Amino acid sequence: MRLTPKSATLLILVALIALAPVFFPSGFYYRVGALVFVNALAVTGIVILTGWAGQISLGHAGFAGIGAYACALAPVHWGIHPALSVLLGAAASAVLAWLVGRPILRLKGYYLAVASLGMGILISMVLNNERALTRGPDGIGVPELGLRAVLKDAGLGLSNGQFWYFLCGIALVVGAWAALNLRDSATGRALRALHGSEVAARTVGMDVARLKLQAFVISAVYASVSGSLLALQNRFITPDVAGFLHSVEMVTMAVLGGVGSVAGGIFGAAVLTLLPQVLTVLAEYEQLVLGAVMVLVMIFLREGIVPSMLRKGRRREE
Amino acid sequence: MTLLSIEGLGICFGGIKAVHDVSFAASPGEVVSVIGPNGAGKTTLFNMISGVYRPGSGRVVLNGEDVTAMSPHLLARRGMCRTFQNLQVFQTMTVLENVIAGFHLQESGDVLSDLLNLPAARRRAKDAEAGARELLRRLGLERAAEREAGSLSYGSLKRLEIARAMALKPKVLLLDEPAAGCNAVETEEIDHLIAEIAASGVAVLLVEHDMKLVMRISSHIVVLDHGEKVAEGDPATVSRNPAVIAAYLGADDAAR
């Protein structure tokens, strides 16, 4: 049986997540792995929004901030379980994305980028300045999720690093699965169509404004869940999670790996999360090499690493 | 029975009357062609009818309903679809996906079932794909189904655009220069295709420069010059009309 690209992507992803720990020299690598998965989850949302629907956002870290602070605040102030706080954060991000998206998605290209940037900055400012609630720039503690203890009682004892590695890994697989489902569905096809030609998309009956809004809301939920997972595993969060740099990081990861493909986005997240760890041996030249890698990839592999490589492979087959 | 009627449609761009007071009507099964020299306002007229431009004056009535300046996606729901003079194909999608996109109104459901790949979403996608493959076969594009649309020849892209429009099962189909840039064989194919579509009860509106094609398949011709309707009638009447000859050859030649 020939695998569809969707099953192949998911199978490789599951295999990598399951087998990678075999090669981990120390427990620290579980933590790096979990960080890769959390970033990849947010980037998968960017793939949907930017890669398929062609809409650029430079403010998606704002939604990660909402997801993160929901887990920090809701359990303390309203006694909501941290796991439910993840859903609460996702719902809040979805509602905000819907409200903000309606006016700003009328804008195109860099106008949209700047408007979304403004939205991200506003969220980040609220988190920085509402000290009474968020404790400002110094950050705030996040309650324990409590699931690890439940698993331990059930006879599945995992270290903290292992637990978060596998939980974030599962979250990523589910996120990638949903995104791949979307890609070949009516909605996903319509998103890619409006990216190709908005006027043609309209003439075949696609409600372009509504579709863009759907993509914006879905990607906001991805970012929000990613922020929640980050907060819960670090047990501490600062407003930097909602900052401009984090937004740019998401977009950069997506574009580097290949913004048009889920596998590409995940690969980009892995590269840009791991590379700085590897490059620490270069000390002060770390940033220089990182920048050079990004420039070279954009020059020689314009569609991003994964799609460009696949295309080359296919051409060789023919 | 009139399906589409255009009543006194006009638009100005920066004080210049691009189209002024144009009226005509189309019935099911008819091929109504709009002809005229370059810059006569044919595509502008199409853009107003199909909701891309908001007309400055006049009305568009579809099936008894005033649809003037209605958004194209709402017009599509009411059975109007069009193709474009400057191809508007979804370049990075496959040929098959392009045609499936034409089934959007039948195929689309709620986003959640798309995200979770629920059976309902799978069924909808499967039906749309079957319909799209059938259309590709009819248009002789089935062998290119899995290719990226951007890699197709110009003539094939023209047919692909028509296939996508046909997927909507429109009552009114606007074709903007479907044969432009096509060779003689391709033009003849498109000729047959248009006749076939009209015979199935669709009102076809056609903008086309290939006069042989227009004269052969039109049931009614509307002639525009400088944004105004200068003549209309069946092909034989129009081709003898002095105003038409003047518009095409220049007034001096006609007078001589």
pLDDT, one tens digit per residue, over A284-301 is 888 888 888 888 988 888
- B89 burial type by CB count under 10 A (0-12 exposed, 13-18 middle, 19+ buried): buried
Buried b (16+ CB within 10 A) or exposed e, B166-177: bbbbbbbbbbbb
* pLDDT of the residue at A273: 92
Is residue A313 in a domain?
no
Residue spans of the domains in chain B: they are: 4-88+154-255
Question: Of the candidates B51, B88, B114, which has its C-beta nearest A186's C-beta?
Answer: B114
User: Nearest-CA residue of chain B relative to A205?
Assistant: B73
Is residue A284 in a domain?
no
Rounded to the nearest angstrom, the gap between the alpha carbon of residue A33 and the centroid of all alpha carbons in its chain is 14
Find chain B residues with C-beta within 8 A of A260's C-beta.
Answer: 92
Å from B240 to nearest chain A CA?
36
First-to-last alpha carbon distance for chain A, in angstroms, is 21
Find chain A residues with C-beta within 8 A of B71's C-beta.
Answer: 202
Nearest to B117 by CA among A91, A220, A6: A6
Range of the domain at A165: 27-244
Is residue A204 in a domain?
yes
Is residue A172 in a domain?
yes
Find chain A residues with C-beta within 8 A of B115's C-beta.
Answer: 178, 181-182, 185, 218
Is residue A12 in a domain?
no
Q: What count of other Cβ atoms lies within 10 Å of the Cβ of residue A281?
A: 8
Look at chain A and report how many structural domains it folds into.
1
Give the residues of chain A that fall short of pLDDT 70.
Answer: 1-2, 318
CATH of domain B4-88+154-255: 3.40.50.300
Find chain A residues with C-beta within 8 A of B116's C-beta.
Answer: 178, 181
Q: What ipTM is given for this predicted complex? A: 0.87
CA distances from B100 to A132, B103, B132, B196 (A): 53, 5, 5, 21
* pLDDT of the residue at B256: 44
Give the residues of chain B that fall short of pLDDT 70.
Answer: 249-256
Is residue A34 in a domain?
yes
Under an 8 Å CB criterion, which residues of A touch B? 178, 181-182, 184-190, 192-193, 195-197, 199-208, 214, 218, 260
Question: Of the candidates B81, B93, B114, which has its C-beta nearest A187's C-beta?
Answer: B114
pLDDT digit string, tens, across residues B194-228: 999 999 999 999 998 888 888 889 999 999 888 88
Cβ contact (<8 Å) for B114 and A260?
no
* pLDDT of the residue at A27: 84
* pLDDT of the residue at B254: 45
